[in-house]
Amino acid sequence: MLQGTARKHQKKIQIKKTCYLCPMQLSARAIAQILGGSIEGDPEVLVNRPGKIEEGGEGVLTFLGNPKYEVFAYTTTASILLVSRQFKPRQPIAATLIRVDDVYQAMTTLLEQFGEHSPQPIGISDQASVHPAATIASDVSIEAFAVVEANARIGAGSRIGAQVYIGENVEIGHNTLIYSGVRILNNCNIGNNCILHANAVIGSDGFGFAPQPDGRYRKITHTGNVIIENDVEIGANTTIDRATIGATIIRQGVKLDNLVHVAHNVEIGEHTVIAAQTGIAGSTHIGKNCRIGGQVGFAGHVQIADGSQIQAQSGIASNIKEPNQAWFGYPAIPYNNYIRSFTIFKKLPELYKLLLDIDKRTRK
């Protein structure tokens, strides 16, 4: 690693260049080899980009993963169509088919292939501000107007987008991608192979105020930090507050969507996924391998068991102790109970009218 203090007149010696690779092209034969798939059609047809099945286009690679899109398989102008091995066409299909075991996994693999050939900046922009006491490893990219403060450490192969702010004593692992506008405030730790999307804020103060006798609120100083472990992805405009004392912790493999709010001293377990606009109040602990829908609200200080599945717009006001169960509603109850209850309460206006009619007849 290169120590910032050892590089005098740093901006004058920085490299600023971009690596542009030729557009990627893959044949059906090559794709089938990558995926272990079988070909029906022209094995030499070429594709250079992924696209939607309904839009198609020459040179487009697309897929059929959801049966409701099958109608487009017969009209798409895409060159290659990924389908499952079990798919049985009801009409002729013009595209070359590649049959695979798992369409979504196969498409994920191919998107990684195409993504690796996107233009990537190399080096540190002379318009970036890197403190001499920062430690920048080899092969790090820092784009224009990014700020890296004193004693920050950035690991090898990481990429820092334009206008990113990295505060004092922040540690960022290797091969981490931080998109433009992200703010990582003092003393926070980001692991290896993480992705932070645009305008995420890591380490803002928690929402903590002590009521005073005269009715005012006194701000509680938050002295903790945020720890984000390896292989975590944080969506755009998501905020993760620093702990009051100790750490707010996002464990390995967690995936947070856009516009998620994680309050102070929350802990989210390994490989949990959380959809957009979910809010998690302070000191809540969510287990590992949970799946949480959009707009779910968590009260503070609750414990959520491993493997919990919480449907969108549910409200969690108390502990969930039994693992691997599905929940729905506000306040949330077991999913199947909610579905059965829904069949009843959606008829309440009708039932209420019926009761009024019965009451009138009995009074006569």
Gap between the terminal Cα atoms of the chain: 92
131 is catalytic: no
Helix, strand, coil percentages, rounded to 5, for the chain: 15, 30, 55
β-partners of residue 147 are: 129, 165
Nearest 5°: CA angle at 232, between 203 and 264?
Answer: 30
Long-range contacts of 265-269 (CB under 8 A, 24+ apart): 265/206, 265/224, 266/241, 269/306
Q: Could you tell me where the DSSP H helices lie in the chain?
A: 10-13, 28-35, 70-73, 103-115, 335-345, 348-363
Q: What are phi and psi of 12, to 5 degrees?
A: -75, -20
Q: Are the C-beta atoms of 85 and 100 separated by less than 8 Å?
A: yes
Which amino acid is it at 98?
I
Amino acid found at 32 = A
- Residue pair 223/201 in contact (Cβ under 8 Å)? The answer is no
Catalytic residue among 174, 197, 222, 264: 264
* Catalytic annotation, residues: 264
